[in-house]
Structures are given as structure tokens and as C-alpha cells.
Structure 1
């Protein structure tokens, strides 16, 4: 069936739909993920393959044994938290794990067993390099990774998918990368310190970043907000209004029914003054 015939068939189907149900049908057509298999391009497929590759190299919670502080902080959460990386485990994959009994979305509020109340999720592993390579025109994507094991994993993906012409991963402490921070046009920071540094180390790292990220007009993307990240770090005395301005995001452009609105609301965009 060619496009013209398919279009007429769809319109004919709409014409036979009960008038009261047409709005619901149109809303479903605009927001459903049921058409994904027809609209996926090669980049989408490649990202899924990358997730498969990384998932096979990591434990289910995607936290390495070398990340002792992160493991300790996750265990100290007031509610039981399963560390699930959103890039590696989409909702369909999590559903399949739950059906197989390998994961639970619930825990008992009385004893902590996974029974009755929603179970929290946390995500840290970055897909920015790979999605940036596939979906943006950025000339250079440079990441700073403190954990050597994650560096090796990322280098494996970069080599396998031949991303090396635009992606570079530095095994380093961001507090040694002043020139990189000073020259960057866009900086993405997703839960970068909370689970991996002590409060004193977080304060020191933020002081370093604020001192070096001064390129006027450069953009800073953070999860969570800067206000939340800096809250409680007594050694950091920052007037955010003198450093950056927040740019409102239109979250309504993400209309898929399965979009995690709460997760999107954690994303904040700032412009350096």
C-alpha cells in the first residue's frame, strides 16, 4: 500500500470511529509508543545495542565494587533503593525482570521487604557521549571520568562503534581540568558528586567548577538543580544569580505517554553570565 492509499485508509478508519471516541483515539496516536518499531532509525538501534553491550559487562545495579562510597550512600537511603540505570534498563526491560522475579518495584514499609510500596530508582551511568555523537552536531564530546573501570567500558564502546573521531574520555578528577571547563560550550552534570564524594569534597569540587566555568553564554545542564546540589554544602558560598541564569524548559514537547515527567523535571538548563 502506497502513502496515498494508507492515508485514505487511516482517514476512513477515523470516519468509522464513534464520535465520542475520536479525541481519545487521536490522543493515543499522538502519544503512543506502539509505532516505535516503524519509526526507529539506525541511531536508535545503535543506542539499544550499546545498552546491551554495557549491560553485559555490569552487575544488575550498574554499580561497580570500586564505587564504595556510592554503594554506602545507596544503602543509607531512608527508603530501600534499587540502583537502576535508566539508559541500560528501560521500562519494558524492567517489566520483564519483574515478571521473572529478578527485580521488584515494591517494598514493605514495615520491614523493608519488597512487597507493598513503590521502590525508588537512581541512575548515574551516562549515555551523553553516545547520544551526543549520534544526535548532535557537536564537533567534540569530552567526558571526565574518575572511575578507571568505567573509563575502560566507555573506551570499549568508543572503539567498537568507531566514535573516536569525536568522543574523548579522560580518566581524571574534574578538579584538574580547568582549561577544559573554561573552553567548553556545553557542560552536562548528572548527579556527578552526590553519590561519589564526601560533602567537603563536593564543596571543593563545586568551588573549582564555579571558578572555572566562566565562559559567557556557555550552557550548563544539571540533574538535579544547582540549588539542590549546593544545598547543605556549608563551605560553598555561591551567589548563583551572579554566575548563571536559568533557562526555562518546555517539557510539553515530550508527549509520549510513558515519559517520566518527574525525571524530566529534574533537568535544569543554565546560561553562564
Structure 2
């Protein structure tokens, strides 16, 4: 049944519901966990299985000791900042870890008191829901196209793109040998090697790859991992090589926000931002406000 037919069926059904009960039916459809099975598929189950495999290989904070700059950067934040990888830990898992005392959502404003404040969480990976949103609602049909994930880390974008899109090739560029090892483990275990390629390199050494890319994805990719001068160098590389007319960039945060501390030049000569619909229902845990951090650009 296509969308039009389904819509007509639902409208006919609602026409037979008592007026006083319609709002309750609609609210039930929007929030009830009873409908979750209709929004779960084999692809989502596969991503959850991958996340489980990766959790077994990483500490709770999903960082390695070699990421000293990122750890230092987080410690310098005015408010306590905790890295919680959204691909590995959904809200239910975070709640369970908090109950077990392995994680906390709050920090004490004054030792020994009951004065607490919410911790600020940051993730360098997209959640499964965000991946579904990007590949099914943000990006167009990717048949025959090349997707490049800059700073692929755990490889979540690669796995999501493999399962949720028809992209011909998904290439992850990651500078950390430890994360490269984890990505290769997953690609081999799940048989993704026919469309996924992993490159252990600095993105600035991948000029030809960037020039050929149809889609470039960047999620909190430079700020927490590079010194200021290295961030400027990396953005210059992206700007001068992602030049194919009509190619797309998906970024978190927005390019304007990312370049602001670097005193970046006006990007309107390079890309145009495209409007996105954040009010997409992805299940009972849909979070339109959370999706608003995702931005889409088209190269001019």
C-alpha cells in the first residue's frame, strides 16, 4: 500500500471514531510504544547489533587515551562536558547506566550539598535515529554516488549509509589507528566490504577523494581533535576541494558555527544551506529539536 492509499484508509477510519476520542487516538499513535514494531526493521536491528559489538570494545566514554587533545578540550569547557556516543548509547541504555552508577546526568555544584545541575553531553557519532533521518529524509537517492565521512571514528555513518541508502561507495577517513581497527572489524564481520572503504589518513591528504565526492558528512569533526591552526588548515582543504557543483555537505554543527571561532570567511560564495523538515516521525523517541543540529548544504 502506497502513501496515498494508506492516508485514505486512515482518514476513513478516523471518520468512524467518536469526535471526543479522535484527539486521544492521534495522541496514542504519536506516543504509544505499541506501534514501535512498525518502525523497527532489520536494518535498525543490524545497527543495534553493531553498537553492541563496539560497546564491548570500548570504555563507557568511548574514547581512547590517545585522544589527549579531545579530553583536554572537554575539561576546559565552562560546564562539565561528558562524551556519550549517541550511536552506542541510546536514552534507554544511558538510563540503565545511570541506575547502575556507571554514568550520571548531573554534577554537584557544591560538594556535600544537594545542589546539582545537568551535565552537558556531546557525541561525535550520529544516533541510529539520526542516521535514519539523514539517509532517508535529508539526502536524495544516492544511487551511483560517492559518500565521504570525514573523521569516521566508529564508522556509524558508513554502516548507516550502507543499510539506509543505495550509495555506490561509502569512504571513511579516520586519523586514529585504534578506530580504524574497530571499523575494519565491523566491516569484515557484517560483510560491508563491497561498498565501504576505510582510509587511515589525515583528510588533508585526500584531495582527490574530496574532489570526487558527491556527499561529504562531518559531525563535530575538527573542533575537539585539532589545534586551532590545524582546524583552519582542515577547513581550507574542505572548502577548496569539495567544489563539485551540486555536491552536498551534511554537517554538525552548521558550517557558520564551526567556522566562527576560526574567523572563517563568508561561505555563501561556496555553498547554500538547504531547508530541512525536522518534524519527521521516526518512532516514539523522535526528537525534532535534537535533529535541528543537522544542516545540509549544496555546493554552488
Structure 1 length normalisation: TM-score? Answer: 0.88
What is the CA–CA distance in structure 2 between the aligned matches of 1:116 and 1:80, rounded to whole Å? 12
The verdict on how the C-alpha distance between 1:34 and 1:79 changes in structure 2, with shifts beyond 3 A counting, is: farther
Give structure 2 stretches of 5+ with no counterpart.
1-8, 126-154
- The question of whether the paired residues in 1 share the 8 Å contact of 2:36 and 2:284 is answered with no
2:270 and 2:262 map into 1 onto residues whose CA distance is 17
CA distance in 1, matches of 2:278, 2:242: 26
Q: Aligned partners of 1:260, 1:30: CA distance in 2, in Å? A: 12
1:271 is paired with a residue whose SS is: strand
Alpha-carbon separation, structure 1, partners of 2:272 and 2:280: 22
CA contact (8 A) 2:36 2:283 kept: no
Aligned partners of 1:133 and 1:141 also within 8 Å? yes
Q: How many residues align?
A: 259
Q: Give the 3-state SS of the residue equivalent to 1:193 in structure 2.
A: coil
Pairing 1:185–2:214 present: yes
Residues 29-82 of structure 1 deviation map (CA, whole Å, 9 limit, x = unaligned): 134444223542211111100000001101100011111111111111111122
Mind listing any 5+ residue stretches in structure 1 that lack a counterpart?
1-6
Superposition deviation, residue 119 in structure 1: 1.5
Moved more, 26-35 or 168-177: 26-35
Q: Which of 227, 246, 250 is matched with 2:256 structurally?
A: 227
Query: Any conservation in 1 of the 2:280–2:286 contact (CA below 8 Å)?
Result: no
Higher-Rg member (1/2): 1
Task: Measure the CA separation in 1 of the matches of 2:38 and 2:207.
Answer: 45
**Counterpart mapping for 1:252-263 below 5 A:** 252-254=279-281, 256-263=283-290
Displacement of 1:261: 3.1
Identify if the C-alpha distance between structure 1 residues 241 and 116 changes in structure 2 by more than 3 Å, giving closer, same or farther: same
Change (3 A) 1:76 1:139: same
1:196–1:31 CA distance, 2 compared to 1 (3 A): same
CA contact (8 A) 2:62 2:85 kept: yes
Query: What stretches of structure 1 move > 6 A for 4+ residues in a row?
Result: 112-115
Q: Which moved more, 1:249-258 or 1:106-115?
A: 106-115
- Deviation string 1:88-146 (CA, Å, 9 cap, x unpaired) is 00001111111222211112234599962222111113511001000100000001001
Instruction: Classify the secondary structure of the residue corresponding to 2:297.
Output: strand
SS for the counterpart of 1:129 is helix
Match in the other structure for 1:124: 124
Supply the distance in 2 between the matched residues of 1:173 and 1:262 (Cα, whole angstroms).
Answer: 32
Q: Which position in structure 2 is the counterpart of 1:3?
A: none
Change (3 A) 1:157 1:225: same
1:241 is aligned to 268
Alpha-carbon shift at residue 24 of structure 1 (Å):
3.0
Residue 21 of structure 1 deviates from its aligned partner by 4.6
RMSD: 2.2
Alignment of 1:1-273 (within 5 A): 15=17, 19-111=19-111, 116-125=116-125, 126-234=155-263, 236=264, 238-254=265-281, 256-273=283-300
- In structure 2, C-alpha distance between the alignment counterparts of 1:33 and 1:147, rounded to whole Å: 39
Describe the SS at the equivalent of 1:82.
strand
Q: Cα offset for 1:255? A: 6.0
